[in-house]
Amino acid sequence: MSVAIRKAVPDDTDAIYNMINGLSVYREAPPDAIPGVEEIRTTLFAEDTNAEAYICEIEGIVAGYAVVSQSYSTWLGRHSLNMDDLYFTPDYRGRGAGKAMLQFIAQMAVSRRCSRIEWNALEWDKSAKDFYNSIDALPLNEWVRYRLDGPALERFASQVINS
């Protein structure tokens, strides 16, 4: 099996969109939960973006993708990579390509002197959790992740803060 991993380019946007759509179906997200093709192209490949997308091809066919961004840990004094997505189409799961992609990202993190890679998995996604456990990734049970988005983000951002 020939596996190739490369940095995504704007011409990959349709394939990335289709895989994001597949991921949203897998995660049981509402149909309108994902951005459109042009929004992905505009934001993911913008000059000032912190995000990087990577494509995995098996035998020349796009089989999966990952999106990472860099953050900074004040606790460690080093950068970290945050992996937003690691997704493979159903026909290409279980063939080792996901492990190859994650190892590629790990090698990138090491070469950039990053202290770690972090990502999320849904609580109910047993296959993802089993895979991550198989490579010695540890769940962060001591942290609670928070999100401020949508109308709550807009409300909070527009509040006048009395100092």
Strand (E) or helix (H) holding 47: none
Residue spans of the domains in the chain: they are 3-158
Alpha-carbon span 13 to 42, nearest angstrom:
10
Q: Provide the whole-model pTM.
A: 0.90
Residue 160: the pLDDT is 84
Alpha-carbon span 93 to 97, nearest angstrom:
7
**Tens digits of residue pLDDT in 136-150:** 999 998 888 888 999
Alpha-carbon span 70 to 72, nearest angstrom:
7
Task: For tokens 């709550």, name the residue.
Answer: 152
Q: What phi, psi does 36 have (nearest 5°)?
A: -80, 170
**Tens digits of residue pLDDT in 5-60:** 999 999 999 999 999 999 998 888 887 888 999 999 999 999 999 999 999 999 99
Q: What phi, psi does 83 have (nearest 5°)?
A: -95, 115
Alpha-carbon span 154 to 109, nearest angstrom:
34
Q: Does domain 3-158 have CATH number 3.10.180.10?
A: no
State the average pLDDT for the chain. 93
Task: For tokens 């149909």, name the residue.
Answer: 31
With 70 as the cut, is the pLDDT of residue 163 above it? no
Q: What is the mean pLDDT of residues 118-142?
A: 92
User: What crossing angle do the helices spanning 37-44 and 13-26 adopt, rounded to 10°?
Assistant: 110
Q: How far apart are the first and last CA of the chain?
A: 62
Q: Torsion over CA of 51, 53, 128 and 139, rounded to 10 degrees?
A: -30
Alpha-carbon span 44 to 118, nearest angstrom:
19
